[in-house]
Structure 1
């Protein structure tokens, strides 16, 4: 069993519902939805191109998935999670956009937002005491040979390479998209998420996600509003 601290809007938020409809799965309910052809993409292509983010559920990673350290209970993790949410204020990302990050597409801030960077770093630091050290197989899966020096150091220290100044907030919407399909996918996503881009995104709460067993779909185990959300 693994846990993760992610940002996702509340269960009934229009963005949560739109993303669940796009991915074909709702991480709050665990219910799969039917995927239909969209744009230039067949039902099968859409299912294949959204398979990776469908398993994880719509989210932005703050504290990457981790197993509990020896002697640490789920109850202690939940208590710390709820305390953190109750004592940290909600805030806005000023504007978002659809962007291609390497081979995949995501909803991202239009510009780097320092308060978001600081908040993400505080999540990483706060919950690290609950994390079991990575095993050799976990480290190998991150392909450290492809990481830069800072990312390799963060992988060792924090269990995830993309933290601190290497952190880039993103809410993944696809897996790898072939180059020849990238333009069409961008157009589809711009249309599907037109109600949510080029406007503020409220960081109103956090979710504690759980992976019941390795490879299983992640589910929202607990969602809490941030202070004054």
Structure 2
């Protein structure tokens, strides 16, 4: 069984950024402050059950995953993980810049890049590798929870090697806004979210930091407990 607390390395856009406020309002939760946030009226008009629509991503806060949630292996500490985050961020590397759009991905709606960005794929791969020493071995129960029979051969290999199937070539940057929706419901919700996002006028998004999120127990939401700007 997955242990707690759990930690994840994410991208989050900064506590006062328009993008973070956009995500917090739609999810009803600010992962920086830990506060509940009122849903916007246009979301409630298009989906009166908006709380249910956003229940899954609300638990994690508005983010993009770089290293998937993990407990810490015995002998490693939160303080050491924070030091590793600082060291990782301190290594000079290109800061990825993406053209962000709102679109459907695997049945849910998210902020995603309009086109692949190699520097972003590399950043995510570096996170997977560099923080893997903090991750305990995957248990049989956790492996089964990922439904390996539904994964591709490469995804199963990545699950067994890295504890998560959607890494390396399988990685897709996404900042999730809804749970999975059937096609009939997805259309009007996607239209509303695209209109809200367009109002932000974000033509490009620099992936300029990593953040450490923590989940204290199975009932808790993830909370941002630190972030580090990426050196250029």
TM-score bracket relative to the smaller structure? over 0.9
What secondary structure does 2:21 align onto?
Answer: helix
**Equivalent residues, number:** 227
Match of 1:151 in 2: 155
1:36: how far off?
4.6
TM-score (norm 2): 0.93
Correspondence list, 1:25-174, <5 A: 25-38=29-42, 40-43=45-48, 45-89=49-93, 91-174=95-178
1:75: how far off?
1.1
TM-score (norm 1): 0.94
Aligned CA distance change for structure 1 residues 89 and 165 (closer, same or farther; 3 Å): same
Give CA-to-partner distance per residue, 1:193-220, whole Å, 9 cap, x none: 1145772111111100001012410000
Match of 1:8 in 2: 12
1:92: how far off?
3.7
What secondary structure does 2:10 align onto?
Answer: strand
What secondary structure does 2:62 align onto?
Answer: coil
What runs of 5+ residues in structure 1 fail to find an aligned partner?
A: none
C-alpha distance in 2 between matches for 1:60 and 1:150: 22
| Aligned residues of 2:12 and 2:20 also touching (Cα < 8 A) | yes
Match of 1:224 in 2: 228
C-alpha distance in 2 between matches for 1:196 and 1:176: 24
RMSD: 1.5
